[in-house]
Each structure stands twice: as C-alpha cells, then as structure tokens.
Chains A and B, each alone.
Chain A
Amino acid sequence: MAPRRRSIFLRTRRAPGLVLAGAALILGMNAARAAPPIVVGTTISETGPLAADALFQLRGEQLAIAKANAAGGWLGRRIVLKYYDDKSSPGTAVRLYQRLITEDKADLLLGPYSSLVTVAIAPLINKYKMATLEPGASVPTIYVPGNKWNIQTVASSTTYLHQLLPLARKDGAKTVALLGLQSAFTLACDQARTAQAKSLGLKIVYSTTYALPQPDFSSIALAIKNARPDVVLACTYYPDAVGITRALHEQGYAPRYLGETVGPVEPAFIAALGPLANRILSNTSWWPNFKTPGNRTFIADYRKKFAGMPDYHAAAGYSAVEVLGAAVKATHSLDQGTLRKWLLEHTVQTVQGPYKVDANGRAVGATQDMVQIQNGVLKLVSPPALAQAKVLVPYTGS
C-alpha cells in the first residue's frame, strides 16, 4: 500500500506562518472596515456674492486635510471633508448644517464663510452642542455669554483697519467719513471704527450705511466730496468696494486716506480698477512673509495644488483645520464636550499666528494687519516689524 500523502498544509514547514499571515490579513481587513473616516462637515459659498472669498477658505481647508491625511490622519483614521454649497444664503446654510448633523452624522464641523452666514447657523450649533471652529466669522456678537459651541479662529471684525485712524490722526488728519454695508461683519466693523474715531477726536463729517445691490454710488460719493474728509473708511465686501472707489473718482474727490476692508486683497479688485486702486489701504490676518510655523510649506503646497497665491481666507481655513487636528490628537477623542474644553483652554500656533480664545469662544490671539496697494501690488505696511513698505500718502486715485 502506498503511503498516505500528508495534506500540503501539514507537509510544509511554512504552514504556521501562512496561517498567521492569513489571520493577520483578515484581521487587518476587518480593522480597516471597522475604522471609517472622520467626517468633517461644512458648507461653503461656492456661488453667490460671497463666493470669490469663500473659495479661498475652502481651498485652505482642503489643503490642510490633505496634509493631515498624508501624515496618517487623526486617531489613525482618514479625514474626509464633506461640504455643500450654501449659495451665500444664511437660510440655505442652516438647512445644510441640519443635514450634516442629523443625516450625514458628521463627526466634526467647521463653520461656513462670512459672518452673515455664520450668525444664522450659530444657534443650531449651540442646539446640537457641536464644538465648531468658525474660520469665516469675524463678527463678535456670536461669541458672547450664552454661546458655548461656536469658537472663533479669525480676528474680530472690530479690529479690521484698526491701524488706519491712529495713523491718519498722527499725520494730522482731523475729519473722517465712514461707510458700512448692511451686513453683520461690516456693520460691526463700522461701529468699531466709529467709536475709535470718536475716541481719537476725529470729527465724523459723513456717515452712512447701504445695502446691495447698489448699481451706483454717485450720491454717496457726492456727499463725501462735499464733506471733504481727510479719511474715507469703508467697511465693504468686493462689489461695493469697487463701486465706492469708482464713484469717488467720478465725482472728483480723493481723500488723503482711503481704506476698504474686504475687496482690495482680491486680485480681481486691482484688475477691475487699474490705477484707481493705487494706495488704497486694506487689512489682512495673514501674509506670505509671516514667520509662523508651517507658513512656507502652506504657501508652497497651495501654489502646487491650486496655482496662484493663497490669501488670508485660505490661511484662515487652513489654520482652523490645524487647530481642530491639534484638539483631536491631544484629547484622543471626537467627543464634542472634550474637544470644546480643550479648544477653550489651549493655544495653538498656526500659519496665521497664535490661536487662542476667551471663555466665550472669541478670538484673542488673532490679529489684523494692514496692507496697501502700491503700483498694482499689495504690500504689507503694518506691523512695522514685518512691513514690506511704508504707507504712501495721499491716495491719488491714479
């Protein structure tokens, strides 16, 4: 009788190893299936009047998440950014955040772009107790006693262009005209600059707010011309910044200082106005020459992925993800209460500078600096330690 052949699995000495490898493979596959990605939910204004700036914020968030995934993710899990287009509409954003929280079951949230939209979703965030970093909401009225879950990561709108009036005062300016768009962030800025003007002893010779759409700013420009202020400071978004600048020129008035908040830092602003944009002052919470951790890498990665330079909105989105990642890694948790406690108590160094908030979630670490368009190029003119150029006066509109 021929000897019975042993099973191949018993014949080979490698059998135990094969069994172990197979078991490891099966266990690994099970582990991968059991570790779903961390879903970070947000809305962004891909369309609508806020889209021009919102797109930069989205890109910053996408870049930071890609970088985090390349480094292994958070808690050993991949991170997925799930976002919807809120169309620059507060109402739409509320419905979409409701969906992110209740249907999509997002693990973490990031706030939308703009104070206008964030003010609308803030109560929802508090209702569902989701620790949400707000990279696009500078209006301070969200972060007041009673707010527990909205956490600001950008400088408050009350600090926009805060260097302009003291600078002008020191230069001998005596009068100012203040303009503000009817929107949450711009009105907060307008109120802060009004209070600042009064505290500096500047006479407010003209002041108005306005709404969009406004096809023509001639009346406002004519009123400013007749008041002849040394400084015109407008709390704007992009289309009204363009409209006011043109109208002042068309009515034949050039103040010694012209400052506009959102608008001048967008490349399209200089393209739209040409020489009229020269010597306009504006603000930024981030600049390429900041010596903040990871700033050079952020710029290089952004240029490689998106072409063109990032702006401060992109830096805000990127920084928010940096802070969120720091919180998740430090607490080893996705528990909202745990994250919130950590976020309120800690400082994180980001590409746009230090993140730190007070007990109400209001940013106390972030700052706004000043830029000026000089010969078609934006230059950082404040703070002095980082300034690329001195402030040029007067504004000539040419």
Chain B
Amino acid sequence: MLALQLVINGILLGGLYVLLAQSLNLIFGVMGVVNLAHGSFIVVAGLFTYWFTIRSGVSPLVVLPMAFVAMGAVGAMVQRFLIEPLMRFGNRAELLSLMVTFGLSYVLVDLALQLWGSDFVSVPYLQSSWTIAGLAFNQALVIAGIFAAAISAALYAWLNFTLSGKALLAASQSPVGAICCGIDVGRVRLVAFALGVGLAAAAGVLVIIVTPLAPETADDFTLLAFVIIALGGLGNYLGVAAAALVLGLVQSAAGYFLGGNAEYVFPYVLLLGVMVVQPQRFRRAAA
C-alpha cells in the first residue's frame, strides 16, 4: 500500500513537472530560443489568477482559457518585437535570446511586484484528495496532471502530424531550407512562441492551486523546467514527459525514505548524472 501511494504521489508530482516543462520544451527544444522568462510567465499568470479569483469568486479553472489567450498574445508580441529581430544573427541568436529573455524576466518580475506585491499567495481551491481503495489522490495535482497529459499529447500530435507543426520543425532545423519550401518562417515562430507562452500561463494557473507563489519564485520554475527538459532531451516531447514522471517518482521515494533535503537535491543529482553519462541528449532533437 505504501509503495503504491508513493508511486501515485510520484506520478502526480511528475504530472506537474510535465506541465512546467513542455511549454519551455516547445520554445527552447524546438525553436532554440533560450527563454529565461519562462518562470516569470508562469508566476505572472498564477498571481493574476489569485488576484482575479479572490475578487470575482470564480473557480481558477475558469481563468485558465483567459490566461492562455491573454498571455499567448503577450508571447506573440514578445516574439515579434524582441525575439524575431535576433534571428538574423544566425548562430548567435540562441545566446542573444538568452540575454533578451533574461532582461524580460526581470521586467516581468518587477511588473508583478508592482501589481501584486511581494507576498506569497495561494488559491484555496482543491485542497483535498480523492480516496480510492484507501489511496489518496491529490485533487489539485490530478487536475494538473490531466492538463499536462492533454498538452503533451496535443503538442506531440501537432508537431508530428500537422502541416503547421511540421513547418515549425522544419523552420527550427533549417530556416533557409524552410523558406525555400515556401514556409513563412517568421509566422511559424510567432505561433510557436505564442503557444509556448500561453501554455506556460496555463501552467501558472494550475501551479498556484498547488503551491504558494510570489514574484521572486519565477527563477525556481525556470531552473526546474530546464532541468526536466535537459533530462528528457531537448525537443523530445515523449522524452520530457517520461523524464518528468521519473523525476516525480524519484523525488517521492527520496523524500519518503531519505527526507526533505534529498527530495530537494535529487533533480540536480540526476541532471549531473545524465550530463556525464549521456551528454549527447543536450543536442536539440526532433519531437
């Protein structure tokens, strides 16, 4: 029973990690844009969710589509005016995007501080568990996991089985080749970045149900997401989903048997191990 509960807790935690990582995987793993503002988008969406639900009394899940669309529009503007101009620098675009999004992350965090203050806040929603056969299923994590699974499946299907998704993959692999094939590379990147930011916002709406957020926690989510996609393989959707689940299981077991400090450090221990054993997975791959 204990083992089963640990597995359930681990899978549910892994579901949350999938949610945090997949949107960054789209932007970094496929587009090659090092989005250091990823955590900021998550936190801004989460704090907006708190602000809106406290005032309106509606369920935070109602905010999810609003946050997705609104932040997607923000993402489109960021791509159009900040990231796309960097693409003409060729191989240097990746480093330049890192610097630009680094600055953007500070702007977003400061904006959040101005709008909502520096306090940790949380939404008192889905704070219980469903109990099935004596096993506890954390409600908030179950909902987050369902969304995570749907997002992962949808992203995988889009990138591999639709023309627009394949166009994005083509543009990321060879922009010149894609242009020669008649693909509007700029438009494809705009859609992808907007989608990535929208998904990050969706993650933020669900994260604030699970754990308190404050503007300054943005970097923690960026770091965690990078660790997960590094473990799963850049641009590899199934790989990232698997890595997130494995990480959740490992942390669940480590936290139970070895204590809280082990649970905290294990993602980074795993990352070091993978970097030593399989450094090739840090090359970007097709989804």
Residues of A within 8 A of B (CB): 46-49, 51-52, 55, 87-88, 179, 182, 208-211, 213-220, 222-223, 226, 238-239, 242-243, 246, 249-252, 268, 271-274, 276
Residues B123-162 near A (CB distance < 8 A) = 123-124, 127-129, 131, 136, 138-139, 141
Which of the residues A88, A250, A268 comes within 8 Å of B128, measured between beta carbons? A250
Sample of 19 more A-B contacts, CB < 8 Å, known A51-B117, A208-B259, A272-B212: A47-B118, A179-B260, A208-B260, A210-B259, A214-B263, A215-B13, A216-B13, A219-B252, A219-B255, A219-B256, A222-B2, A242-B120, A242-B122, A250-B128, A250-B129, A250-B139, A271-B124, A272-B122, A272-B123
A217 to B2, CA, bound (A): 16
Collect the chain B residues with CB atoms within 8 Å of residue A238's CB: 120, 212
The answer to whether A47 and B119 have CB atoms under 8 Å apart is no
A246 to B211, CA, bound (A): 9
Collect the chain B residues with CB atoms within 8 Å of residue A87's CB: 216
A55 to B13, CA, bound (A): 33
A210 to B211, CA, bound (A): 16
Which of the residues A47, A182, A218, A272 comes within 8 Å of B216, measured between beta carbons? A47
The answer to whether B124 and A222 have CB atoms under 8 Å apart is no
The answer to whether B263 and A49 have CB atoms under 8 Å apart is no
The answer to whether A211 and B119 have CB atoms under 8 Å apart is no
The verdict on B198 contacting chain A, using a C-beta distance below 8 Å, is no
Which of the residues B9, B136, B217 comes within 8 Å of A219, measured between beta carbons? B9
A185 to B214, CA, bound (A): 21
The answer to whether A218 and B13 have CB atoms under 8 Å apart is yes
Q: Shortest Cβ distance from B2 into chain A, in angstroms? A: 7
22 A-B interface contacts by CB (under 8 A): A47-B113, A49-B120, A52-B118, A208-B259, A208-B260, A209-B260, A211-B264, A213-B220, A218-B9, A219-B252, A219-B255, A219-B256, A222-B256, A239-B120, A239-B214, A242-B122, A246-B127, A250-B128, A250-B136, A250-B138, A252-B129, A272-B121
Q: Shortest Cβ distance from B249 into chain A, in angstroms? A: 11
Collect the chain B residues with CB atoms within 8 Å of residue A210's CB: 259-261, 263-264
Residues of B within 8 A of A (CB): 2, 5-6, 9, 12-13, 16, 54, 113, 117-124, 127-129, 131, 136, 138-139, 141, 207, 210-212, 214-217, 220, 251-256, 259-261, 263-265
Collect the chain B residues with CB atoms within 8 Å of residue A251's CB: 129, 136
Closest-by-CB residue of A relative to B258 is A208
The answer to whether A219 and B6 have CB atoms under 8 Å apart is yes
A167 to B136, CA, bound (A): 32
A220 to B264, CA, bound (A): 12
Closest-by-CB residue of A relative to B131 is A252
Q: Shortest Cβ distance from A215 into chain B, in angstroms? A: 5
A314 to B12, CA, bound (A): 40
How many A-B pairs have beta carbons closer than 8 Å: the answer is 128
The 4 closest A-B pairs by CB, nearest first: A210-B260, A219-B255, A51-B118, A208-B259
A305 to B265, CA, bound (A): 44
Collect the chain B residues with CB atoms within 8 Å of residue A55's CB: 118
Which of the residues B141, B207, B214, B260 comes within 8 Å of A220, measured between beta carbons? B260
Collect the chain A residues with CB atoms within 8 Å of residue B128's CB: 249-250
A239 to B251, CA, bound (A): 19
The answer to whether B120 and A249 have CB atoms under 8 Å apart is no
Known: A222-B256, A226-B2, A268-B121. A252 touches B127 (CB 8 A): no
Q: Shortest Cβ distance from A289 into chain B, in angstroms? A: 26
Q: Shortest Cβ distance from B49 into chain A, in angstroms? A: 13
The answer to whether A250 and B263 have CB atoms under 8 Å apart is no
A48 to B113, CA, bound (A): 10
Closest-by-CB residue of B relative to A46 is B118
Closest-by-CB residue of B relative to A206 is B259
Collect the chain A residues with CB atoms within 8 Å of residue B141's CB: 216
Collect the chain B residues with CB atoms within 8 Å of residue A211's CB: 260-261, 264-265
A14 to B43, CA, bound (A): 73
Q: Shortest Cβ distance from A398 into chain B, in angstroms? A: 10
Closest-by-CB residue of B relative to A219 is B255
Collect the chain A residues with CB atoms within 8 Å of residue B211's CB: 215-216, 239, 242-243
Q: Shortest Cβ distance from A276 into chain B, in angstroms? A: 6
A215 to B54, CA, bound (A): 22
The answer to whether A216 and B210 have CB atoms under 8 Å apart is yes
Collect the chain A residues with CB atoms within 8 Å of residue B5's CB: 222
Closest-by-CB residue of B relative to A271 is B124
Closest-by-CB residue of A relative to B223 is A213
Closest-by-CB residue of B relative to A181 is B260
Known: A243-B211, A250-B136. A216 touches B16 (CB 8 A): yes
Which of the residues A218, A219, A268, A274 comes within 8 Å of B120, measured between beta carbons? A268
